[in-house]
Chain A
Amino acid sequence: MTDAFATLIFTSASDAGDAVEDCPAGVFQHLESYYQACKQKFMLVNYGDDAAEIATFSFTEQTGAATIDSEDATVDIEVEFGTDVTTLVATFTVSTDARHAKVGGVAQVSETTSNDFTSAVTYQVTAENGTTKDWTVTVTVAAEA
């Protein structure tokens, strides 16, 4: 856990406003509007924990522990032969102060939200200070024994 400044750029006032309202207590520092190439933009400055890790990730159908690689931002996990990967529900945890994890803009709830893991799924984890980290979760189905 490291507290750090984060600068986030937005191209619309509504997006910038939504980002301010999404800030946890004490994180928002400053919002500035400016022009770049005749287009108005907004710079949001936050301060807070910058950790956006997936700490644990599992399925009840898994054959072994997931391989979580923070540097490459990947999670690889194998599930039992015959598992329907189109509606898998993951059990996961993220960094302590992280705001949320989303898939395709949908907030993920551990042990509740199902996703189609037919192909790799991108989990976007948002740190306390608003920075994001995209994780690629890949599920493989074990071969028939």
Chain B
Amino acid sequence: MTYTVEIYESASDAETAIEAETDTLEQVVPYHEGTALRFMVITSAT
């Protein structure tokens, strides 16, 4: 099993990616980059 981390610059981009995801969604981590909001999407695959 391997973990993959993808970073998205908007909630809608993260939402689209999650809905298209075929691997296991582990976690979504929102965070700031300066004043911008970012979303880290963590998935795992066997």
Contacts and interface: CB of A to CB of B under 8 A. Distances in A.
B29 to A, nearest CB: 5
Interface residues of B, number: 18
Interface in B1-46: 1-5, 7, 26-27, 29-33, 38, 40, 42, 44, 46
Interface string A119-140: 0000000000000000000000
A20 B3 CA distance: 7
Interface of B: 1-5, 7, 26-27, 29-33, 38, 40, 42, 44, 46
Interface of A: 13, 16-18, 20-21, 23, 25-26, 28, 30-33, 40, 42
